[in-house]
Amino acid sequence: MNSFKKNLLKKRYNAERRFQWYGKIAIGLALSFLAVFMFQIFSKGYSAFQKTWIVTEVHYDKELLLIDAESPSKDDLENADYYDVAYKAMTSLDPGLPEEEDRQLIQMVSYKYEAEVKDLLLKNPDYLGKIVPIKLTASDDVDQVHKGNYPRDIPEENRRVNDYQLQIYDMLNERGDILSEFNISFFTSPDSREAELAGIASSFMGTVFSILVCLAFSFPVAVLAAIYLEEFAPKNKFTDFIEVNINNLAAVPSIVFGLLGLGVLLAVFNLPRSTPLVGGITLSLMTLPTIIIAARASLKAVPPSIREAALAMGASNMQTTMHHTVPLSMPGTLSGTIIGLAQALGETAPLILIGMVAFVNTIPGTPVDPAASLPVQIYIWSESAERGFVEKVSACIMVLLAFLILMNLAAQIVRHKFEKKWS
Amino acid sequence: MNLVLVTFIILLAFTSYYFGRKKALVIQSSQRLTALPKFYGYYLAAWCAAPALIIFALWSVFEPSIVKTFILQDYTDQNLTKNELQLIYTKVKALAAGTYTGNITNFLDESANKYIQLKGIANSAKVAIILAILIFSLSFAYRSVQKNDRMREPVEIFLKWVLFVASLGAVLVTIGIVFSLLFEAIRFFQAVKIFDFIFGTHWYPAKTFVRDGQPDPELMKDAFGAVPLFAGTFFIAFIAMCVAIPIGLLSGIYLSEYAGRGIRKYAKPIIEILAGIPTVVYGFFAALTVGPFVKEIGNAMGLEVSAESALAAGAVMGVMIIPFISSLSDDVMTAVPQNLRDGSYAMGATKSETVKKVIFPAALPGIVGSILLAVSRAVGETMIVVMASGLAANLTMNPLESTSTITAQIVVILIGDQQFGDPKTQSAFALGISLFIVTLLLNVIALSVVKKYREKYE
């Protein structure tokens, strides 16, 4: 072999190795995007599952509460004036502070601190007249300082927590009066303008209701349609048209469905705005083609021998389909449905258009109450300027991803556990 | 009221199912049955529920518009526009419901009374008609049960019709999309010339907002030029494809030609996770991490970069789209027949030469199809752009500036309360229909390319 040929061969082998490396790098890039992404979300979000409390002492002084009765009833406690008691509880942290500066202390706890003082007494009526320790929700700024997300070394005028508040915070922290506990209220309270109080309960319920409505509308229609197209439809132009239609519908951008919901469900049928009912119907129109396609594929996978056996035993076409083909195709259909619902779960744009982006600070009890949904909540919070919301968004994303992972696992389990293998 | 009626019909249907089955058992003692006893039940139940529910649905659809015409008849001599009439009707309805809080004129009061009256008449008429239909259809069905007619065939034909109607659902959705978009878009094009919309270069709908009154037509002409949006949409999609095509295609090639079974089994689903993450999550990621990152790098190189840049949005969108291209191209390349590969190896070609010269050209139509699907996906993507690339419609080709897209503008226009009849709101529907047409075209082309390709090797 002469050297020219040798060189050529070497070149070709090098090209081969290079090409393989390109492929490896591409896959590595794709995987590392995913890794970076997950890392970012988790490292930003995990702290939202901790809630910061400030511990102080409150004196439930009858005179300050304006309670006259000797043994006050529940109503008396309910109607008492808690302003002074709560105010004293906070200002007692630094008795030397002049009165006109007291806002600095009050601002260290959430604006609902008065209600928290009240709740503690309502829960323990025997605290009346006593001095007891109390946990108050720290404001989001203090919360962020405590979690170390807030730089302390920038100039005071650019900081939302001033030097005095930091000093008080350090003092409390040294005394062990800053508590960090699992943030239950993140899961149980509705949205709020204040980051420290905001929770995902309202949007979580909104999501659950939307998904249920979506399931109730899309699943029956899609399965029936799939049965017709796969088992009964004659081969003609109209059937072809329906098929092309379904395939194209699956690729229509989700925002167009939002326009449909707005233009038809809200404007023509006058359904209530901002509700999971409308959201669910809009999403069901979107998932319809996905489920139809999955259901048809799993009907198609049922071997013809099953049908032939049933027909040979004298069953009608309808009986063959309903008693044999459809039950056998159900695992595939169900897992396709769950995957379709998981897609619908992450949709944001159509829900924004039908008004599910409104600020809702109540927990919806029915599908016709105004609500947000988890992805919309992510959008709403990420538009807020407060630093406390950044970790809330990440935490909300973690909840949403957990939800999605659960649904996909369920789809996998349904498929592998119940599907019959024909071979 | 409606709920009670529907519940009643459904309960009656259940009862008639059990009644029919029982009746069949009675018949059995004297005659041979034509079908299983449950079919007698189904037969009665279907005749009970179907006609009544169909009439009920039709009635519910048409009643409001009929009542509306009756009410607005009194106002025809006042020469009011359509919007004013609509406003009056809304007022009348609110007054009748007791939720009206304006000053009440005599005329309005009269109309509200008339409205309540009409509603009452309509309701009792509805109940009467539905009861009559129930009695009629049930007695008809009962007679054929008594005669012991064939029962299975009619039930199965009915079921088949139910299946057929369900399969029309998908068609109905398409019709709904087209009509709801067209309806508002046509009204928009009555206010703004279609030429100004397609070729205008300034998009600034907020400036047409005028409280109470018609906006200046001159303003309208210059406010709804969609060219910046079309350009922005394709520009961001282009950036996304610049990221997604090389990475997606090379991963697809590696997965289909080089990777062993183990790698393929795990790497493919993991890459597909990228497509399953909700877009709003990508949007947050783009706005919070990638945007500032791009800005920092740009600033370090002495470039002026806005925090909301087309580059950040496009790049993140590209990452989202990688699995569309990698999975689909992996599938089409795996589908290329083995004998083409064997032929190439037999000629002494290396693996990469085989991929580049034989497999890739053979799979090209399928790959082009998958890329087109990915483009259509990128064009329709909303949340990433809304959150990461700003909302001002700049006509620019600089990836470091912020641009806006069709989808993002739809969201911007329609977020919050909308007023139907306002050209700004209608413009969103005009944008929607252009988006629908573009994605539909891309999709049709992609599907037909893929289909042709499949036929070639099957």
The pLDDT of residue A226 is: 94
A19 inside domain: no
Measure the CA–CA gap between B190 and A373, rounded to whole angstroms.
37
Q: Which two tokens stand for residue B434?
A: 């252009």
Give B172-194 pLDDT, tens digit per residue.
888 988 888 998 889 888 888 88
**Which chain A residues are within 8 Å of B417, Cβ to Cβ?**
355
Cβ of A82: how many Cβ atoms within 10 Å? Answer: 22
CA distance A223 to chain B (A): 8
The verdict on A361 and A244 lying in the same domain is yes
For testing contact with chain B, the best of A287, A339, A348 (most B CBs within 10 A): A348
**Which chain A residues are within 8 Å of B382, Cβ to Cβ?**
253-255, 348-349
The pLDDT of residue B209 is: 58
The pLDDT of residue B308 is: 80
Q: Which two tokens stand for residue A122?
A: 């309502």
**Which chain A residues are within 8 Å of B377, Cβ to Cβ?**
251
The pLDDT of residue A21 is: 94
CB-based contact A422:A301 (threshold 8 Å) = yes
Q: At what angle do helices B152-191 and A276-300 cross, to 10 degrees?
A: 130
Spell out the residues 6+ positions from residue A2 whose beta carbon is closer than 8 angstroms to its own: none
Residue A45 CA: distances (Å) to CA of A105, A181, A384, B179: 28, 15, 16, 43
The verdict on A102 and A172 lying in the same domain is yes
A34 inside domain: no
A39 inside domain: no
Q: What is the CATH number of the domain that holds A252?
A: 1.10.3720.10
Q: A137: which strand partners?
A: A53
The verdict on A67 and A149 lying in the same domain is yes
The pLDDT of residue B213 is: 55
The verdict on A315 and A264 lying in the same domain is yes
For testing contact with chain A, the best of B42, B280, B412, B419 (most A CBs within 10 A): B280
Measure the CA–CA gap between A406 and A420, rounded to whole angstroms.
23
For testing contact with chain A, the best of B167, B253, B308 (most A CBs within 10 A): B167
Of A58-72, A395-409, B35-49, B234-248, the poorest mean pLDDT is in: A58-72
Give A221-251 pLDDT, tens digit per residue.
999 999 999 999 888 898 888 888 888 888 8
The verdict on A127 and A236 lying in the same domain is no
> At residue B180, what is the residue type?
S
The pLDDT of residue A286 is: 92
The pLDDT of residue A384 is: 80
A12 inside domain: no
* pLDDT band at residue A214 under the 50/70/90 scheme: very high
CA distance A292 to chain B (A): 9
Of A58-67, A129-138, A239-248, B163-172, the poorest mean pLDDT is in: A58-67
CA distance A181 to chain B (A): 27
The verdict on A238 and A312 lying in the same domain is yes
User: In this complex, do B170 and A12 lie within 8 Å of one another by their Cβ atoms?
Assistant: no
User: In this complex, do B443 and A248 lie within 8 Å of one another by their Cβ atoms?
Assistant: yes
Three-class secondary structure assignment of chain B: CHHHHHHHHHHHHHHHHHHHHHHHHHHHCCCCCCCCHHHHHHHHHHHHHHHHHHHHHHHHHHHHHHHHHHHHHHHHHHCCCHHHHHHHHHHHHHHHHCCCCCCCCHHHHHHHHHHHHHHHHHHHHHHHHHHHHHHHHHHHHHHHHHCCCCCHHHHHHHHHHHHHHHHHHHHHHHHHHHHHHHHHHHHHHHHCCHHHHHHCCCECHHHHCCCCCCCCHHHHHHHECCHHHHHHHHHHHHHHHHHHHHHHHHHHHHHHHHCCHHHHHHHHHHHHHHHHCCHHHHHHHHHHHHHHHHHHHHHHCCCCCCCCCHHHHHHHHHHHHHHHHHHHHHHHHHCCCHHHHHHHHHCCCCHHHHHHHHHHHHHHHHHHHHHHHHHHHHHCCCHHHHHHCCCCCCCCCCCCCCCCCHHHHHHHHHCCCCCCCCHHHHHHHHHHHHHHHHHHHHHHHHHHHHHHHHHHHC
ipTM of the modeled complex: 0.88
* pLDDT band at residue A1 under the 50/70/90 scheme: low
CB-based contact, A274 to chain B, within 8 Å:
no
Range of the domain at A383: 201-418
Domains and CATH numbers, chain B: 2-150 (no CATH), 221-457 (1.10.3720.10)
**Which chain B residues are within 8 Å of A238, Cβ to Cβ?**
none
A339 inside domain: yes
Q: Which of B159, B170, B436 sits opposite A225 (nearest CB)?
A: B170
A35 inside domain: no
Domain boundary, last residue among A152, A181, A210: A181
Q: A152 or B46: which carries more pLDDT confidence?
A: B46
User: In this complex, do B381 and A253 lie within 8 Å of one another by their Cβ atoms?
Assistant: yes
The verdict on A151 and A90 lying in the same domain is yes
Give A302-322 pLDDT, tens digit per residue.
999 999 999 999 999 999 999
Dihedral of the alpha carbons of A392, A393, A399, A402, in degrees to the nearest 10? -140
The pLDDT of residue A291 is: 94
CB-based contact A223:A297 (threshold 8 Å) = no
Cβ of A31: how many Cβ atoms within 10 Å? Answer: 16
CB-based contact, A133 to chain B, within 8 Å:
no
For testing contact with chain B, the best of A217, A238, A259, A338 (most B CBs within 10 A): A259
The verdict on A169 and A216 lying in the same domain is no
Q: Which of A245, A353, A375 sits opposite B170 (nearest CB)?
A: A245
The verdict on A241 and A388 lying in the same domain is yes
CA distance B381 to chain A (A): 7
Mean per-residue pLDDT over chain A, rounded: 87
**Which chain A residues are within 8 Å of B168, Cβ to Cβ?**
242
* pLDDT band at residue A146 under the 50/70/90 scheme: confident
The verdict on A212 and A244 lying in the same domain is yes
Spell out the residues 6+ positions from residue A223 whose beta carbon is closer than 8 angstroms to its own: A291, A295, A326, A333
pLDDT exceeds cutoff 90 at A288? yes
**Which chain B residues are within 8 Å of A382, Cβ to Cβ?**
283-284, 287-288, 387
- Spatial strand order in the sheet of A178-182: A131-137, A50-59, A178-182
The verdict on A177 and A209 lying in the same domain is no
Domain boundary, last residue among A181, A214, A238: A181
User: In this complex, do B381 and A20 lie within 8 Å of one another by their Cβ atoms?
Assistant: no
Q: How many domains does chain A have?
A: 2
b/e sequence A302-325, b meaning 16+ C-beta within 10 Å: beeeebeebeeeebeebbbbbebb
Of A107-121, A260-274, B87-101, B175-189, the poorest mean pLDDT is in: B87-101
Q: Which of A248, A263, A345 sits opposite B444 (nearest CB)?
A: A248
The verdict on A234 and A325 lying in the same domain is yes
CA distance B246 to chain A (A): 8
Counting residues of chain A whose pLDDT is more than 70, the rounded percentage is 99
A326 inside domain: yes
pLDDT exceeds cutoff 70 at A295? yes
A21 inside domain: no
For testing contact with chain A, the best of B63, B67, B163 (most A CBs within 10 A): B163
Q: Output the CA angle A382-A385-A387, nearest 5 degrees.
A: 90
Q: A161 or A380: which carries more pLDDT confidence?
A: A380
CA distance B445 to chain A (A): 11
A176 burial via Cβ count (<10 Å: 0-12, 13-18, 19+): exposed
Q: Which residue of B has its CA nearest to A227?
A: B163
User: How many beta-carbon pairs under 8 angstroms link A with B?
Assistant: 245
**Which chain A residues are within 8 Å of B278, Cβ to Cβ?**
345-348, 375, 378, 400, 404
Name the stretches of chain B with pLDDT < 50. none
CB-based contact B24:B40 (threshold 8 Å) = yes
Q: Which residue of A has its CA nearest to B430?
A: A259
Q: Which of B246, B350, B380 sits opposite A255 (nearest CB)?
A: B380
Measure the CA–CA gap between B204 and B222, rounded to whole angstroms.
8
Query: Which residues, numbered 343 to 402 in chain A, qualify as contacts with chain B under a Cβ-Cβ cut-off of 8 Å?
Result: 343, 345-349, 352-353, 355, 357, 375-376, 378-379, 382-383, 390, 393, 397, 400-401
CB-based contact, A232 to chain B, within 8 Å:
yes
* pLDDT band at residue A423 under the 50/70/90 scheme: low
Three-class secondary structure assignment of chain A: CCHHHHHHHHHHHHHHHHHHHHHHHHHHHHHHHHHHHHHHHHHHHHHHHEEEEEEEEEECCHHHHCCCCCCCCHHHHHHCCCHHHHHHHHHCCCCCCCHHHCHHHHCCECCCHHHHHHHHHHHCHHHCCCEEEEEEEECHHHHHHHCCCCCCCCCHHHCCCCHHHHHHHHHHHHHCCEEEEECCHHHHCCCCCCCCCCCCHHHHHHHHHHHHHHHHHHHHHHHHHHHHHHHHCCCCHHHHHHHHHHHHHCCCCHHHHHHHHHHHHHCCCCCCCCCHHHHHHHHHHHHHHHHHHHHHHHHHCCCHHHHHHHHHCCCCHHHHHHHHHHHHHHHHHHHHHHHHHHHHHCCCHHHHHCCCCCCCCCCCCCCCCCCCCHHHHHHHHHCCCCCHHHHHHHHHHHHHHHHHHHHHHHHHHHHHHHCCCCC
> At residue A348, what is the residue type?
T
